[in-house]
Amino acid sequence: MKVNVYNLKREQVGEIDLSDEVFGAEVKEQLFYEVVKAQLASRRAGTKATKERSAVAGSTKKLYRQKGTGRARQGSIRAPHHSGGGAAHALEPQDWSYRPPRKVRIGALKSALSLYAKEGRLIVLDSLELPEIKTKAIVDALGALQAGKKSLVVDSASNDKLVKSIRNLDTHQFLPPEGVNVYDLLRHDHLVVSKEAAKALEARCLR
User: Is 156's pLDDT higher than 90?
Assistant: yes
Average pLDDT, the chain: 95
pLDDT attached to residue 207: 85
DSSP string, 23-66: HSS---HHHHHHHHHHHHHHH---------TTTS----S-SS-S
The confidence band for 148, taking pLDDT boundaries of 50, 70 and 90, is: confident
Nearby residues of 158 by Cβ (< 8 Å), 6 or more positions away = none
User: Is 22's pLDDT higher than 90?
Assistant: yes
DSSP string, 90-102: ------------H
Rounded CA separation 190/26 (Å): 19
Q: What is the pTM of this model?
A: 0.83
pLDDT digits (tens, 9 = 90+) for 31-74: 999 999 999 999 999 999 999 999 999 998 999 999 999 999 99
Rounded CA separation 44/17 (Å): 40
pLDDT digits (tens, 9 = 90+) for 95-146: 999 999 999 999 999 999 999 999 999 999 999 999 999 999 999 999 999 9
DSSP helix/strand/coil, 115: helix
